[in-house]
Structure 1
């Protein structure tokens, strides 16, 4: 399972649509295209679901991200949503998201991507169920906003498994948790 987050130099991961637009380049798009082509199942949090289902669920076929996310099987972690979800191929996770993802990883199929939800990424990372954490760091200092990790999180060593620096200065890094 892979989680990918847009990230500022000062560590902000919240609302990247407000600060990443001028540094998005073809190389970053190609990197994301590779990620999307391997993904057959997506896991997301409630906030991402509510925002994306409205936007991408109604986007035209010419929107490349909508073309990816709409047909993909989506599982949504939420403590407040109930019943059937309206966005195509979306199912509410019943029970603990960590245990659900552990079971999901045991099934046959393609790659699983955690595509939205800072809290959910943090929860699954600290529970040890993420295989890869991808940070796409844009050359910008945002100054305020939510960070992925919080004071008091446990010391966790990582191993760099892949890196890319794009022509506009984005740095894309893939990390795995370092084994004992």
Structure 2
């Protein structure tokens, strides 16, 4: 049995994925919340970069809203070159090559695996082919600041559209896989 690995990012029309909390607030409604619940429901493990893990471990413990109730017990696998040993918050340091680690994690027992960020983590694991599906919720906004998931460092990469949904808030929820 191979576990499914997914990633989901909020995205501006011009490709910015950094700090969506600064621009998505007026285009996130019930449909987007329901979609998030459907996506994270089967997830039992999250692969996450150190910076985002450090931000979240300071904020989410003790929060019991729907995302907090989900993220707190999920097993977190932290990609880092600066942390070692035992980590709090149900977290483990990823030893060795992150791509190989996720490949091996896919072959273990459990539910789906989510790659939660940061940007470099999602990009590298998706382009390496270990992320089965990448979902981008494209918000109807253009922002002049922030990093993009696919910047000029990414070579020409062919994708296949797996699913597409338009919400009443004006978002396009697009799910992609690498073209084989």
Common fold: TM-score over 0.5: yes
1:28 corresponds to: 32
1:99 corresponds to: 100
Q: Over residues 92-127 of structure 1, what are the superposed CA-to-partner deviations in whole Å (9 max), with x where a residue is unaligned?
A: 111111110011111122111101210001111121
* 2:46 aligned residue (14, 37, 42): 42
For this pair of structures, how many residues does the alignment match? 176
Cα RMSD for the two superposed structures: 1.0
1:148 corresponds to: 149
Matches within 5 A, 1:61-76: 61=64, 63-76=65-78
Provide TM-score, normalisation by structure 2. Answer: 0.94
Matches within 5 A, 1:1-180: 1-59=5-63, 61=64, 63-87=65-89, 89-179=90-180
1:86 to partner: Cα distance: 1.7
Structure 2, unaligned runs of 5 or more: none
Find the residue that maps to 2:61 and give its secondary structure: helix
Structure 1, unaligned runs of 5 or more: none
1:150 to partner: Cα distance: 2.0
Q: Over residues 139-169 of structure 1, what are the superposed CA-to-partner deviations in whole Å (9 max), with x where a residue is unaligned?
A: 1111111001121422111111111111110
Q: Over residues 5-53 of structure 1, what are the superposed CA-to-partner deviations in whole Å (9 max), with x where a residue is unaligned?
A: 0100110000111111111111111100001111111110011101111
Separation in 2, partners of 1:157, 1:125: 12
Provide TM-score, normalisation by structure 1. Answer: 0.94
